[in-house]
Amino acid sequence: QVQLVESGGGLVQPGGSLRLSCAASGSSFSIYTMGWYRQAPGKQRELVARITNIGNTYYRDSVKGRFTISRDNAMNTVSLQMKSLKPEDTAVYYCNAEYSGTYWGPGTQVTVSS
């Protein structure tokens, strides 16, 4: 099992940047595929970015070129660098780990507003 805790959310103006981090507890972090999902009010949770255990990445089209996912297996962390933020990026962002099961963090709020 793995426990996940997100940090780094907050309020930012359009065009600004934020960096989300997710700290994972438990062993064998390096074998997990790690992802960031988000859920806006009234909408379904959606995959934002994912990084596999060997570093392959995936991004949803709307964040390509603006968001970067990375992982540090030595520190058991995964990060999401977000740039050029837009109001439509406003959501609760969740860290996700997948291997033999699926694990979620409690989420962190990101609000993009002037």
* Confidence band of 26 (pLDDT split at 50, 70, 90): confident
Instruction: Report how far residue 98's alpha carbon sits from residue 41's, in angstroms, rounded to the nearest whole number.
Output: 25
Instruction: Report how far residue 42's alpha carbon sits from residue 59's, in angstroms, rounded to the nearest whole number.
Output: 22
- The H-or-E segment that residue 48 falls in is strand 46-51
Give pLDDT, residue 5. 97
Instruction: Report how far residue 73's alpha carbon sits from residue 39's, in angstroms, rounded to the nearest whole number.
Output: 26
- Give the tens place of pLDDT for each residue, 44-98: 999 999 999 999 999 999 999 999 999 999 999 999 999 999 999 999 999 999 9
